[in-house]
């Protein structure tokens, strides 16, 4: 049923018609005003907003500065890295995207989700790295199917490259992604930036970093760049040239292969480190890629502790190398002189306790020079009885022990020079005189780093002029030299003649004492051995246990050459290496042969 319009009065129809016309006019005026408002009144505002919708500023990461050796040979450089990223704000169906992506990048869905979850507190617009070091085939596949994977992008930027692999890793250190905590402290960094975490990479981060560039670009609905409106190119970071001699370094890496410990060589004219091997080591490239949870766990749980730089972070008992300190103390404090001597019968009673020499049948009559050369414990036991732990601590610190050397590497440990105050605070016990006797031969609660021992023997070689060990030779920018540190020495207040008498003993140590296997024909080498027991001889199973690697003694040898006008100092430390005269000493001889080009 419907109503015929003929039944509507004529006047009523005319009224409806007029109202319709008025309504249409009003609607037209509304649209006209809106058009005028957008196109005329707020034209500039809406134009800028539209431009902002299609214009974007893309920041360009600066390549890190290069690392070179003293002769300009490349140690660390950069390469172009393609990285697959996910932006959560653009991923319409993240689960579906992950499912499709997993087989292409050879990762499980669980692993991709773990990598995304790591960044759950970051902004949704953050480009979450899923896979780095994409090869060209993977890049082509992903780029050709980007519309199938909303939120997926392939980015490219410079990435650190270490062409020498593990070589020098303990010096170089590594870089990794900036943590949220680091981001909060560094105003000029952005989330996702790479930053030096250890080693030289951390020490000279401000020079390596360079200056970020940017591009103002126009993008489409797929976030693809269609045009570059303006570009400010990034600036390469400064080049850091080290004191390291790469040729010598590579040779020492070979001779120390299979050992755990340290070989360090210093240039006595400057204090610069010529070579430094710390084993076990690691591949710094590990940290520039994205690793699975299992790979991280394997590295962190590795019992060999490859991330520890044993040169500055390994703390050990110095053993008989500490007799260097005791000899200078005795001479300087007038407790002994060149005529002093004791009778060594293999053991002696002090404070109603029996103390033993390493040679069971003894050394007979021993003076200062022979005591150093043959490392007679009995001589130094009696010297220890003539002094106190405070005086021993003062001379130890004077020669650089118990404090950082100041080498330009982060996280250096200070070791430990004990004192009554330390023991009371740490153990709530008093210091006993018998403990001083043990410290006098480098035992007891006395801990040093190989870096400290290298600085100590360098000071002896220079007759009391102590160098600051360092790795930096120069820093250069594209505009020229930025920084070249001057050699830094400090004078030790110990008489030169006392150093000379000690050096006679160190020379005899190599010629006829415990370091005879360090002899190199035509070269006057001076040094001191140290064999450090890791289990006590009082252990009933000592004879059997000491043959097994975890219980073998540590091996020390500190040395320099030549005797007159010395050029280099060397520290060799082998963890659980055994008798120093059989392990550390021959290794040092190889160092001297290679440095001075002597043949067997």
Q: What does the pLDDT read at residue 39?
A: 61
The DSSP annotation for 51-79 comes to HHHHEEEEEEPPPPPPEE-TTS-EEEEEE
Contacts made by residues 146-150, CB under 8 angstroms, sequence distance 24+? 146/222, 146/224, 147/222, 148/100, 149/97, 149/100, 149/101, 150/90, 150/91, 150/92, 150/93, 150/97
Pairing of strands 347-350, 353-356: antiparallel
| CATH superfamily of the domain spanning 248-279+311-471+493-596 | DD-peptidase/beta-lactamase superfamily (3.40.710.10)
pTM of the model: 0.87
Find out whether the peptide bond into 334 is cis, omega within 30 degrees of 0. no
- What span, in angstroms and rounded, lies between the C-alpha atoms of 338 and 327? 11
Q: Name the burial class of residue 315, with classes exposed (0-12), middle (13-18) and buried (19+) by CB atoms within 10 angstroms of its CB.
A: middle
Strands 67-68 and 239-242: parallel
Q: Which fold has domain 57-242?
A: Penicillin-binding protein 2a (Domain 2) (3.90.1310)
Three-class secondary structure of residue 599 per DSSP: coil
Q: Determine the distance from the C-alpha atom of residue 168 to the mean position of all C-alpha atoms in its chain, rounded to a whole number.
A: 10
Closest CA to 67 of 258, 214, 203: 203
Nearest to 224 by CA among 142, 289, 159: 142
> Tokens 């780095």 sit at which residue?
132
Report d(CA 237, CA 458) in Å as an integer. 34
323-332 and 450-461 helices, crossing angle to 10°: 40
47: number of Cβ within 10 Å = 12
End-to-end CA distance of the chain: 122
User: Measured between alpha carbons, how far is 42 from 157 in angstroms, rounded to an integer?
Assistant: 40
Q: Are strands 480-483 and 489-491 parallel, antiparallel or unpaired?
A: unpaired
Model confidence pLDDT, tens digit, residues 12-68: 666 666 666 767 777 766 666 666 665 666 556 555 545 555 777 878 889 999 999
- For position 1, what pLDDT does the model report? 44
What is the residue extent of each domain of the chain?
Answer: 5-41, 57-242, 248-279+311-471+493-596
For residues 367, 373, 374, 375, the Cα torsion angle rounded to the nearest 10 degrees is 90
Is-contact 377 357, C-beta < 8 A?
Answer: yes
Q: How far apart are CA 284 and CA 64, in angstroms?
A: 15
Name the residue among 578, 255, 309 with its Cα closest to residue 450: 309
Query: How far apart are the C-alpha atoms of 227 and 218, rounded to whole Å?
Result: 5
Pair of tokens at residue 542: 């000592």
pLDDT (tens digit per residue) in 160-203: 999 999 999 999 999 999 888 888 888 888 888 999 999 999 99
Nearest to 453 by CA among 553, 560, 596, 542: 560
- For CA atoms 460, 312, 429, 357, give the dihedral sign: negative
Interatomic CA distance for residues 463 and 452, integer angstroms: 17
Peptide bond into 234 cis (omega under 30): no
Residue 9, pLDDT score: 61
Q: Specify the pLDDT at position 41.
A: 60
Q: Provide the 10 A C-beta neighbour count for residue 61.
A: 19
Taking CA atoms, 535 is separated from 74, 395, 511, 544, in Å, by 44, 28, 30, 11
Tell me the backbone φ, ψ of residue 286, rounded to 5 degrees.
-55, -35
CA-based nearest residue to 587, from 556, 565, 563, 542: 556
- The predicted pLDDT at position 600 comes to 44
What is the reported pLDDT for 7? Answer: 47
Helix or strand run (H / E) with residue 587: helix 584-596
Residue 386, both tokens: 């003539």
Whole-angstrom distance, CA of residue 372 vs CA of residue 340: 13
pLDDT of 289: 85
Residue stretches of the chain with pLDDT short of 70:
1-20, 22, 28-53, 221-224, 538, 541-542, 598-600
Cα separation of 570 and 548, whole Å? Answer: 28
DSSP string over 117-143: HTTTTS-TTS-EEEE-S--HHHHHHHH
Return the closest-CA partner of residue 279 out of 402, 148, 171: 171
Beta bridge partners of 230: 216
């Amino acid at each position: 049923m419907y109503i015929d319009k003929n039944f509507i009065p004529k006047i009523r129809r005319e009224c409806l018609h007029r109202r319709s016309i008025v309504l249409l006019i009003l609607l037209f005026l509304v649209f006209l005003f809106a058009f005028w408002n957008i196109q005329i009144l707020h034209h500039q505002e809406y134009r800028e907003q539209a431009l902002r919708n299609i214009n974007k500023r893309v920041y360009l990461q600066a390549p890190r500065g290069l690392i070179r050796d003293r002769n300009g040979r490349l140690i660390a450089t950069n390469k172009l890295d393609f990285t697959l990223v996910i932006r959560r704000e653009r991923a319409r169906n993240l689960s579906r995207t992950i499912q499709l992506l997993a087989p292409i990048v050879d990762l499980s869905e669980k692993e991709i989700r773990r990598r995304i979850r790591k960044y759950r507190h970051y902004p949704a617009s953050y480009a979450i790295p899923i896979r780095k070091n994409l090869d060209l085939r993977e890049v082509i596949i992903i780029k050709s199917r980007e519309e199938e994977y909303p939120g997926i992008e392939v980015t490219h930027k410079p990435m650190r490259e270490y062409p020498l692999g593990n070589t020098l890793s303990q010096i170089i250190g590594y870089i990794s992604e900036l943590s949220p905590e680091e981001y909060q402290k560094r105003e000029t960094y952005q989330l996702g930036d790479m930053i030096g975490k250890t080693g030289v990479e951390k020490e000279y981060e401000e020079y390596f970093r360079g200056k970020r560039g940017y591009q103002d670009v126009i993008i489409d609905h797929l976030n693809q760049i269609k045009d570059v409106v303006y570009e400010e190119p990034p600036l390469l970071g400064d080049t850091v040239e080290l004191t390291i001699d790469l040729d010598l370094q590579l040779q020492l890496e070979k001779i120390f292969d299979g050992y755990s410990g340290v070989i360090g060589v210093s240039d006595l004219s400057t204090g610069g480190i010529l070579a430094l091997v710390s084993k076990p080591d690691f591949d710094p490239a590990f940290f520039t890629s994205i690793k699975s949870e299992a790979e991280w766990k394997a590295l962190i749980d590795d019992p060999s502790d490859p991330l520890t730089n044993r040169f500055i972070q390994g703390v050990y008992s110095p053993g008989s190398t500490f007799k260097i300190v005791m000899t200078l103390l005795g001479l300087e404090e007038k407790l002994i002189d060149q005529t002093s001597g004791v009778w060594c019968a293999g053991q002696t009673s002090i404070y109603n306790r029996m103390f033993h020499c390493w040679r069971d049948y003894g050394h007979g009559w021993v003076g200062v020079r022979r005591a150093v050369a043959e490392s007679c414990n009995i001589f130094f036991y009696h010297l220890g009885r003539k002094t106190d732990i405070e005086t021993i601590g003062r001379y130890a610190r004077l020669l650089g022990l118990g404090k950082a050397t100041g080498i330009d590497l982060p996280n250096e440990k200070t070791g430990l020079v004990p004192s009554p105050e330390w023991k009371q605070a740490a153990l709530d016990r008093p210091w006993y005189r018998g403990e001083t006797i043990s410290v006098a031969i480098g035992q007891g609660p006395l801990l040093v780093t190989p870096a400290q021992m290298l600085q100590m023997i360098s000071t002896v070689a220079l007759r009391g002029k102590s160098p600051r060990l360092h790795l930096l030779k120069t820093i250069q920018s594209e505009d020229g030299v930025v920084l070249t540190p001057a050699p830094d020495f400090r004078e030790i207040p110990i008489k030169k003649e006392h150093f000379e008498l000690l050096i006679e003993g160190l020379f005899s140590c190599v010629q006829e004492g415990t370091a005879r296997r360090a002899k190199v024909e035509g070269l006057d080498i001076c040094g001191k051995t140290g064999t450090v027991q890791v289990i006590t001889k009082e252990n009933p199973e000592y004879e059997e246990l000491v043959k097994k690697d975890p219980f073998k003694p540590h091996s020390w040898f500190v040395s320099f050459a030549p005797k007159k006008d010395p050029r280099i100092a060397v520290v060799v430390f082998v963890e659980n290496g055994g008798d120093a005269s059989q392990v550390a000493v021959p290794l040092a001889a190889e160092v001297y042969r290679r440095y001075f080009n002597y043949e067997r």
